[in-house]
Structure 1
Amino acid sequence: MFSQIVSALKIPPGRERITNQEALRFTYDYWRQRVIFSMIVGYAIFYFCRKNIAFSNPLIREDLDISATSLGLILTAHSVIYGFSKFFSGILADRSNARYFMAIGLFFSALMNIGFGFSSGVLFFAVFWIANGIFQGSGVPPCSRMLTMWFSKRESGTYWGIWNASHQLGGAGISLLASYLVATGYGWRSTFFVPAFIAIATAAFLVWRLRDRPTSLGLPPIKEYEQIRGYKSASDEQTSAAPSSTAESTSNGSVPASEEEELSTWQLLRQEVLNKPVIWMVCLANFFVYIVRIGFLDWGTTYLNESGLEKETWGIIVAVFEITGLLGALLAGYLSDRRADQRGLVAVISMLLLTAALVVFWQLPSADPYIAGMYFGVIGLFVYGPQLLVAVVAAQAAPRAAGTAVGLTGLVGYAGASVCSVVTGVLLDYLGIDAVILFYLLSAALGAISFLASLKMERAA
């Protein structure tokens, strides 16, 4: 079985090129839409197997008399492992068949959820949930790779924004499913079993519907296809497809061996990722973006409680944060495509507006649920766009190692999330909620400065 998995993960060879222009256009457009839809479904279900624990947490503690500290340590370990897994999965995904890489990761994540659901002790909870963090890290990197292979720089902001909707769809979907399972008396274990079975079916769906790259179907790489469609922008010539994909066909129409395979893993990592300052700068920006985003996701209800709002309003207000975040990501992606060489400018403006919104939030607190909902909505609108653009800029800066570059930004982002959790807790205990909001405000301002620096690097490149 292991050898079969290794074989499936190899980058697929190119097929004989389709020469009929009408058939080529139809086939290319069909597969682009098929791949983007399948990635949205697939990553949304990754959320089903990661965010389900938020709804079972209090029930587990009540049913098994497990302390909040024990579960908290398990969740912290899961987050740390998940962050590292995103980075190392990125390195593997850049040298693997993204179609199988994503499906296999989801399948094993489902198995870890089943194991967790059957467990009744802290040790087994820790083993299965930390292992789940490893497999959850295989969700984003293959999507980053396929987005880079199937969509050009000219349109990538829009399509990354569309794919990014999977985060909100997955979060909303598991919220509804888990709430239903708990409310109807199926118990906390069902919140792991049901998502796991859905994930197993989805893994099979991904194998059926996804394809790693256009050349595996006899289609030209995206740069060539853009030229066929009449787009010959110079910026597109430095985009998504690896040099391997743009190589001229051999006499029988097949594509030569990938240049990715000619470079060692270390060479690819060093040349495409580690030696590019713009990637490190957007990583730093992502560190600050995650402080604000995770702060409002994980500690937003604490603010609402401190403000005296009824518990019944908390879920709706946090949902507003996610919904406007979806709109913000789509809008940021669309606007950034107007000037693909200045995506950082959209991120800078978003972070400055986020900083201004946090100043108002800090200085004019309100116990009115409508005003609080408006505050959360505005902050969600401006925080999710920069989060999306971090990934787009990183992937385009390292077209041959997009999964690795995006994985690195994710690793640094989760470092920011960890710092957020620790600092927010300390500030709440010793200085109160106002100090927490000020911490988020300063983080947003530093994020704007980081994006501004990355913008200058983009222009200089």
Structure 2
Amino acid sequence: MIDKTLKHWRFRVFTLTWLAYAGFYFCRKNFSVTMPIIIDELGYTKNDMAIVLTIYSFTYMVGQFISGYMSDRLGPRLIVTIGLSIAVVANFTMGMTGSLLAFAFLMGANGFGQSTGWSGLIKNMTPWYMPNERGVVMSWWSTCYVIGAFLATIFATYWATNEYIFAELGWKRAYIMPALVLAVITILYGLFVRNRPPDVGLPVLVKEAGENNATQTKSEQYDIIKGLIVKSELWIAAFIYFVLKLTRYVFLFWLPMYMVEALDYSNQDSGYLSSVYELVGFFGVIAAGYISDHLMKSKRFPVVAVMLFLMAILCFVQPIIATWGMLAIGINIGLIGIMTYGPDSILCGATAMDIGGKKGAATAAGIINGVGSAGQLLSPFIAAYFSETLGWNALFYGFVVLAVIGGFLAVSKWKFATHVEVNEELIIKE
């Protein structure tokens, strides 16, 4: 049985960090919803939008490496609060402009602010949970970006398309309103979260040598980095995440466009139907965590491999299913969501924790997410190129190839697992 004080703080940290990352999506997913509307109303092209998304992805990618290092060194509470604040300001300002240049600059700032989220919040969660709990705990926690993306899509679609509340602002409401939501979350996170158990008078939960301070010196951080970069598991996870993030961000930002152009759905129908990807993807996140902890004894890579091979099959049949109607499309897109979000969540969550340990969790998460973000960086141009020249169906066949490559990389680390010593002070014997 866990000590009551620790249980209270676990709940508090879990809830606030979950809200923080879900909140980031309110100021991220809105661009995909408004993109077809902006193209139609302002006369921009898909290549213009691809450039804006590439700038966002570039600053997000670079920021991942910087933010992971800074969160390990200075603590996640400070770094994530700064990132949340940047995202709020950038999105609110986007709701005041229609200039392509302004979009590019503000999405770049938004990307840098958003980059603090994952590595920082993984760092925030790591000291509060033991390694044999992480698969299940992080599967539930990782629903933040699945549910966050789903709710953000619905929220942005409502504000971008409804004709009743502040109708004169049109699509700009899809930036202003999410910014207000994230502003509230920023205040809650900054005021009420704490970095680790010793910050609230509790002993260290997981014993690791040299764990004396809330922050780390430069020499300590360099030693951690040197220890991490020689781990083959880190780079295998990072390259698989490259594949996953490229795929996921094409779906996140271009799925509404695919439905408008290839399937001839309305902006409203496309916005709502595309949210099925995140809604059903939720179950993949939960399944991956439970399977890795309870069936695979905290091995993460077998789960990644199987789900990626299943995703390859689902993407292969999507062009056929696209002719069967909206219900069939929704089911297949939802299943693809399960097979995308399952390995995605386990790699950038529990796997990063396992590889980096308590002292290097943010750095490991930053490297995995940073390499993955290179895939995100390429995704706008790949989506634009395929849709314009080869057709949308060819894009799905490209996903088949990527998923198979990622699956075989995961097979190469099938047996990897981590084991550390647990502090018994916070376990009450009954």
TM-score of the superposition, structure 2-length normalised?
A: 0.86
Structure possessing the higher relative contact order (Cα contacts under 8 Å, 6 or more residues apart): 2
* Structure-2 change in CA distance of 1:164 and 1:204 (3 Å): same
1:436 partner letter? L
Identity among equivalent positions (%) equals 25
Secondary structure of 2:73's match? coil
Question: How far off its partner does 1:175 sit?
Answer: 2.7
Q: Does 2:286 match 1:330?
A: yes
What residue ranges of structure 2 are gaps of 5+ in the alignment? 421-430
4+ residue segments displaced more than 6 Å: none
Tell me which of 291, 313, 324 is aligned to 2:246: 291
> How far off its partner does 1:426 sit?
3.3
Superposition RMSD in Å? 2.8
Shift of 1:457: 5.0
Correspondence 1:46 to 2:24: yes
Tell me: CA distance 1:307–1:201, structure 2 relative to 1, closer, same or farther (3 Å): closer
Secondary structure of 2:28's match? Answer: coil
Q: Is the 8 A contact 1:84 1:411 kept in 2?
A: yes
Q: Match for residue 412 of structure 1?
A: 371
Report the more deviating stretch, 298-307 or 183-192: 298-307
Q: Does 1:347 align with 2:304?
A: yes
Which of residues 365, 370, 374 in structure 1 aligns to 2:327?
370
User: Per-residue CA shift, 1:76-99, capped at 9, x if unaligned?
Assistant: 111111121122101111112222
Q: 1:172 to 1:459 in 2, by over 3 A?
A: closer
In 2, distance between residues paired with 1:121 and 1:316?
27
State the alpha-carbon separation in 1 of the partners of residues 311 and 338 from structure 2: 8
Residue type of the alignment partner of 1:333: G
- Alpha-carbon spacing, 1:369–1:80, altered in 2? closer, same or farther (3 Å): same
Q: Which residue, 145, 148, 164 being the options, matches 1:170? A: 148
Deviating more after overlay: 310-319 vs 431-440: 310-319
Q: Label 1:316 to 1:380 Cα distance change in 2 as closer, same or farther (>3 A).
A: same
1:439 matched to 2:417? The reply is: no
1:107 Cα deviation from its structure 2 partner = 1.5
Q: 1:214 aligns with which of 167, 177, 197?
A: 197
Letter aligned with residue 284 of structure 1: F
Say whether 1:261 aligns with 2:239.
Answer: no
1:147 is aligned to 2:125: yes
- Match in the other structure for 1:275: 230
Q: Tell me, yes or no, if structure 1 residue 395 matches structure 2 residue 353.
A: yes
2:65 corresponding residue in structure 1? 87
Partners of 1:287 and 1:415 within 8 A in 2 = yes
Paired residue secondary structure (1:243): coil
Q: Measured at CA, do residues 122 and 379 of structure 1 come closer, stay the same or move farther in structure 2, by a change above 3 Å?
A: closer
Whole-angstrom distance in 2 between the partners of 1:308 and 1:62: 17
Change (3 A) 1:119 1:366: closer
Change in 2 beyond 3 A, CA 1:459/1:200:
closer
Check 1:190–1:372 CA distance in 2 against 1; reply closer, same or farther (3 A cut).
closer
Give the deviation of 1:292 after TM superposition.
Answer: 2.9
Q: Which amino acid aligns with 2:400?
A: L
Residue of structure 1 equivalent to 2:427: none
Counterpart of 2:428 in structure 1 is none
| Greater displacement, 304-313 / 445-454 | 304-313
**Which deviations, in whole Å up to 9, do the C-alpha atoms of 1:250-274 show, x marking residues without a partner?**
xxxxxx4468337343332222x21
1:152-231 alignment to 2 at 5 Å?
152-182=130-160, 183=162, 184=164, 185-187=167-169, 188-223=171-206
Q: CA deviation at 1:364?
A: 5.7
Counterpart amino acid of residue 236 in structure 2: M
